[in-house]
Amino acid sequence: MANHLDDPAPLDLSADVVTLTAALCDIESVSRDEQRVCDAIEAALAPLEHLTVTRVGNSLVARTELGRDERVVLAGHIDTVPLTVDPSNLPTRREGDDLWGRGTVDMKGGVAVQLKAALVAEPSRDLTFVFYEGEEIDSEFNGLLHIQQQRPELIEDADFAVLLEPTASQVEGGCKGTLRAEVVTKGIAAHSARPWNGHNAIHDAAEVLARLAEYQPETVLVDGLEYHEAMNAVGIAGGIAGNVIPDRCVVTVNYRYAPDKSQDDAAAVVNHLFSGFVVTIKDNAPGARPGLELPAAKAFVEALGLPVIAKEGWTDVARFSAMDIAAVNFGPGDPNLAHHDDERCPVSQLESAEAALLRWLA
């Protein structure tokens, strides 16, 4: 019986990582509804005497205090995007070599790996486990951000961080920045029967789209990794009535930029491309350099024995980077299946991610 009801069964950390992933997924935790899964994780960690557990909202920080020379953060978010209804992607189900269901990829498989690592009483490094809410929605709800703002001492002493977002169990270094801008065209309203009395702002948007079509994104080498930039229209809005020439049109543009650029650099690229138009930067989150030259990162990569590629999206490694903590992405699940109706994770990736992480901590 699935545990996505009001009173989920206790989490059994001694269960295999696949069973534990299914149990976590079957506790529904769509963003802003993470209390039950946070309660379950807290109850599972409480008996572990080598951990000190602190709760911040519906996020948890669990720390070892063993006096090791190095401290590492293992972090993962506990919320998911909404469930689908037809077909339903909960409760989880096992089909052949895959575990199907909401959260199996993004990212309760990674959270299950964290919990298995939390059982290691004498790790080679001091560990800080972060299980946080609100990653899948607006930044103001992000539990990692809340911890940084309210209890920074719980994480700021780390030398290195691993974010267990899905990477198909390979190491992805850093992440790209993401900028969202509104490009506005302005016209003059008029009756659509006499358009010569006005000026059509929607027609002017053709020039904005033409510049986007002609734009050649860069591939940038940063710390030995290639980041592919991208600039795309992701929305367009204009018009007030079926018989009115529109006096305003807004094209929303998303720019994904390499981590060698600052926020100001990225804004300058967008403003230059759309010079002559009114451009408003609505959101701009910087990327994170890989930091692979640092000793902690080198040790992680060498212990896992896996290739390293660039992280093409934006993840919360950027939040660690802002705290001068080098961070990489490493977790089970194909990121191309995140948020899909047919979200599923190969059992082999759950097992291999757990084995790799435990090998590193041995």
Segment 108-163, tens digit of pLDDT: 999 999 999 999 999 999 999 999 999 999 889 999 999 999 999 999 999 999 99
The answer on pLDDT for 353 being more than 70 is yes
* 302-314 pLDDT, tens digit each: 888 888 999 988 8
CA–CA gap between residue 56 and residue 64 (Å, rounded): 18
Asked if the structure places residue 329 within a domain, the reply is yes
Q: What is the mean pLDDT of residues 198-206?
A: 97
Residues shown for the chain: 362
Q: How many domains does the chain have?
A: 2
Mark whether 309 and 321 lie in a shared domain.
yes
Mark whether 251 and 311 lie in a shared domain.
no
**Domain final residue pick, 285, 318, 343:** 285
**Domain final residue pick, 270, 285, 300:** 285
The answer on pLDDT for 166 being more than 90 is yes
Mark whether 319 and 206 lie in a shared domain.
no
**Domain final residue pick, 285, 303, 331:** 285
Asked if the structure places residue 42 within a domain, the reply is yes
Mark whether 146 and 186 lie in a shared domain.
no
CA–CA gap between residue 319 and residue 327 (Å, rounded): 9
Mark whether 120 and 64 lie in a shared domain.
yes
Mark whether 327 and 209 lie in a shared domain.
no
Active-site residue set: 79, 135
Beta-carbon count within 10 A of 251 CB: 24
Mark whether 189 and 150 lie in a shared domain.
no
Asked if the structure places residue 100 within a domain, the reply is yes
Which of these, 349, 352, 340, 347, lies nearest to 101 by C-alpha position? 340
Asked if the structure places residue 1 within a domain, the reply is no
Q: What is the pTM of this model?
A: 0.85
The DSSP-derived string for 71-88 is EEEEEEE--BPPPPBTTB
Percentage of the chain exceeding pLDDT 90:
86
Question: Of 123-132, 152-161, 174-183, 315-324, which gets the smallest average pLDDT?
Answer: 315-324
Q: In what order do the strands lie in the sheet with 98-100?
A: 93-95, 98-100, 344-346
Q: Which domain holds residue 267?
A: 177-285
CATH of the domain at 188: 3.30.70.360
The answer on pLDDT for 322 being more than 90 is no
The pLDDT of residue 298: 85
Mark whether 150 and 272 lie in a shared domain.
no
